[in-house]
């Protein structure tokens, strides 16, 4: 059963019981909010998914090291990624955890640290330390706290990104909310996708990790703006059991409802990141059907959505299915090009790898929309996937060729 799900408009990271947050300015981003804290009153189980880039920033390693601990606090700064900062970067990350722990009366092992912003510049620790104090004094729950956290983690984002649901079940209500940042990998050196989720269900850590990994694979991992993987990408979820009567287990009737809400929030946040993609004029929703397995559907979708030629064709409102087919062909997955069908919007443009005549005028209407859907049917097997990408515009080049300064 799916439970009765209600979207909590205007809510995000503190929608679940027992969580508080705050977002303040400590001077990293010219007076804009740049430091956030997410706090759980009960000890929370944590699960996380991190960048696979070997160039991985110190805060990512700190989160990984503490992932199995009972967690009470996440501290996040924007404006500086603390990446490529060597030994000094490691010391600064651990100092952030210690400062936050002592301010909140916790052990440093109960704190996770996250950073996003410019690469290769040491953190200005005096500012950070003062900011942590201020943030801990301003902890709160509610719409304003949600908004403050959402703003404080932004870098080149043009919009805040949050989502939350309440789900009513026979065992009681539970809540799940989240906040994210990211819009490509990003203008002057600003990097990274970050996502933080909170929920008040009771759940074992290993099950939480399994469910979160699955949800991330079908949401944050199917979006691509430019194919570059950041040094700091982090998605974390905390489950604090504040609604202790709502327990999620492998065999629980509530498992389906929890999975559903979790995936929904992840997908909504992921879509918001794509939609805020750097210099995009169009969002491409790519449905892969008939693949051998989900893994190969995944590789194929990335190959198509990362192809500069496919992306520029959509920018030019050109139904250039040959570029889509070519990108499928070089993805490194065994497909039969002479079986591939391609649809753009409702219109078929290729059948069995060859061209299908279509009405150019009707197609023009489809391609002028901001949201364009593409269906690729490989006719090889039962697996499928829906992924999102963007076009590539003049604006993308402008944003990313700006000087670092």
Q: Closer to a copy of itself by CB, 166 or 181: give it.
A: 181
Q: Which of 31, 338, 359, 361 binds a copy of itself (CB under 8 A)?
A: 338
Q: Which is nearer to a copy of itself, 5 or 229 (CB)?
A: 229
| Binding-site member from 67, 227, 252, 299 for a copy of itself (CB under 8 A) | 227
Give yes or no for residue 31 binding a copy of itself (CB under 8 A): no
Minimum CB distance to a copy of itself, residue 316 (Å): 3
Q: For residues 259 and 11, what is the distance between their CA atoms, to the nearest angstrom?
A: 20
**Min CB(55)–a copy of itself separation in Å:** 3
Q: Is 231 annotated as catalytic?
A: no
Binding range to a copy of itself, per CB under 8 A, among 9-17, 81-89, 148-156, 165-173: 81-89
Per CB under 8 A, 70 contacts a copy of itself = no
The answer to whether the Cα torsion of 294, 207, 150, 52 is positive or negative is negative
The only residue of 2, 253, 293, 318 in contact with a copy of itself, by rule CB under 8 A: 318
Instruction: Please tell me whether residue 83 binds a copy of itself under the rule CB under 8 A.
Output: yes
Taking CB under 8 A as the rule, does residue 64 contact a copy of itself? no
Binding residues among 112-141 for a copy of itself as defined by CB under 8 A: 118-121
Answer yes or no whether residue 109 interacts with a copy of itself by CB under 8 A.
no
Phi, psi at 228, each rounded to 5°: -80, 135
Which of 14, 155, 192, 390 does the annotation list as catalytic? 192
Answer yes or no whether residue 403 interacts with a copy of itself by CB under 8 A.
yes
Q: Nearer Cβ to a copy of itself, position 268 or 391?
A: 391
Beta bridge partners of 77: 35, 115
> Binding of a copy of itself at residue 234 (CB under 8 A)?
no
Evaluate whether 282 touches 274 at the Cβ level (below 8 Å).
no
Q: Give yes or no for residue 60 binding a copy of itself (CB under 8 A).
A: no
Q: Which of 315, 343, 358, 388 binds a copy of itself (CB under 8 A)?
A: 315
CB of 342 to a copy of itself, least distance (A): 10
Residues numbered 272-311 forming contacts with a copy of itself, rule: CB under 8 A: 307-309
CA distance 345 to 372: 6
* Least distance (Å) between residue 319 CB and a copy of itself: 8
Q: How far is CA 301 from the centre of its chain?
A: 17
CB of 54 to a copy of itself, least distance (A): 4
Q: Does 325 bind a copy of itself (CB under 8 A)?
A: yes
Residues 298 and 222: beta-carbon distance below 8 Å: yes
Neighbours of 20 (CB within 10 A): 20
Among 134, 312, 348, 373, the residue binding a copy of itself under the rule CB under 8 A is 312
Footprint on this chain of a copy of itself (rule: CB under 8 A): 52-56, 83-86, 118-121, 185, 188-189, 191, 226-231, 307-309, 312-313, 315-323, 325-330, 334-338, 350, 352-355, 392-394, 396-398, 400-404
Q: Catalytic residues, which ones?
A: 192
């Amino acid at each position: 059963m799916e439970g009765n799900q209600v979207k909590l408009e205007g809510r995000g990271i503190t929608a679940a019981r027992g969580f508080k947050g705050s977002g303040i300015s400590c001077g990293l981003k010219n007076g804009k909010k740049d430091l956030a804290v997410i706090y759980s009153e009960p000890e929370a189980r944590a699960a996380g998914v991190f960048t696979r880039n070997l160039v991985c920033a110190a805060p990512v390693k700190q989160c990984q090291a503490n992932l199995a601990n009972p967690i009470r606090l996440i501290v996040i700064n924007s404006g500086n990624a603390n990446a490529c900062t060597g030994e000094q970067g490691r010391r600064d990350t651990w100092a952030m955890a210690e400062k936050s722990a002592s301010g909140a009366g916790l052990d440093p092992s109960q704190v996770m640290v996250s950073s996003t912003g410019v690469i290769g510049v040491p953190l200005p620790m005096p500012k950070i330390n003062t900011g942590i104090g201020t943030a801990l004094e301003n902890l709160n729950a509610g719409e304003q706290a949600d908004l403050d956290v959402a703003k404080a983690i932004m870098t080149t984002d043009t919009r805040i990104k949050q989502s939350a649901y309440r789900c009513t079940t026979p065992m009681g209500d539970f809540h799940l909310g989240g906040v994210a940042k990211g819009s490509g990998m990003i203008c002057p050196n600003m990097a990274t996708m970050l996502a933080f989720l909170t929920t008040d269900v009771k759940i074992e850590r290993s099950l939480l990790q399994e469910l979160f990994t699955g949800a991330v694979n079908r949401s944050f991992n199917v979006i691509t703006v430019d194919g570059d993987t950041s040094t700091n990408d982090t998605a974390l979820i905390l489950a604090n059991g504040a609604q202790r009567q709502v327990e999620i287990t492998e065999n629980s009737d509530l498992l389906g409802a929890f999975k559903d809400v979790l995936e929904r929030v992840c997908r909504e946040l992921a879509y918001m990141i794509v939609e805020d993609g750097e210099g995009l004029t169009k969002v491409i929703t790519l449905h892969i059907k008939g693949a051998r397995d989900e893994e190969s559907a995944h590789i194929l979708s990335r190959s198509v959505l990362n192809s500069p030629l496919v992306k520029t064709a959509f920018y030019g409102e050109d139904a250039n299915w040959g570029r889509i087919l070519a990108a499928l062909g070089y993805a490194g997955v065994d497909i039969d090009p002479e079986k591939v069908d391609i649809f753009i919007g409702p219109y078929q443009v290729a059948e069995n790898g060859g061209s299908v005549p279509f009405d150019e005028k009707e197609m023009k209407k489809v391609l002028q929309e901001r949201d364009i859907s593409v269906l690729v049917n490989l006719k090889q097997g039962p697996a499928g996937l829906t992924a999102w990408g963007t076009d590539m515009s003049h604006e993308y080049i402008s944003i990313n060729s700006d000087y670092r300064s």
